[in-house]
Amino acid sequence: MALNIIIGLLSAFFLFASSIKMFGWQKKVFEIQLDMFKSYGLNRQIMFLVGCAELFGAIAIWFQGSWVGPLGALALLGTSIGAIFCHLFFDTWKQGVPAMVTGVFSAAVTWRGFEQLLGVLA
């Protein structure tokens, strides 16, 4: 039950975040995020690719009965870890708190389905 709540929260958050990174529909948030990416030495194309990874993870995370779900959680964990490092290196740790929370949640979901993921690789 708790896992489903975490999956729902992660999915909602990353569907919102990815849609802004990919399509820029929320202009103010888009401009703030793009300015952050540029301050990290990254460009609009990288921001779009991060949005694609987030979108994949936000959708795939619902398929916990197969290896796709843990792979989606792993994608979200990767984007969260990247965000944490960028915030810690270029900003303050406080700006990285949302990424820390999504990282912990993504790690929990990844851990839960890690054996399924390893089964595909073996």
- The structural domain count of the chain equals 1
Burial class (CB in 10 A: 0-12, 13-18, 19+), 46: middle
80 confidence band (pLDDT: 50, 70, 90):
very high
> Distance (Å, rounded) from C-alpha 89 to C-alpha 50?
18
Burial class (CB in 10 A: 0-12, 13-18, 19+), 12: exposed
77 has a pLDDT exceeding 80: yes
**Which pair of structure tokens corresponds to residue 53?**
């990874």
- Give tens-digit pLDDT for 86-116: 999 999 899 999 999 999 999 999 999 988 8
What range defines the domain where residue 89 resides? 2-121
Q: What is the DSSP letter of 1?
A: -
**Which pair of structure tokens corresponds to residue 14?**
């990353």
84 confidence band (pLDDT: 50, 70, 90):
very high
Whole-prediction pTM: 0.93
According to the model, what pLDDT value does residue 64 have?
92
**Which pair of structure tokens corresponds to residue 93?**
């740790």
Dihedral (CA of 20, 21, 23, 25) sign:
positive
119 has a pLDDT exceeding 90: no
Residue 38 CB-half CA count within 13 A: 7
- Give tens-digit pLDDT for 5-54: 999 999 999 999 999 999 999 999 999 999 999 999 999 999 999 999 99
120 has a pLDDT exceeding 90: no
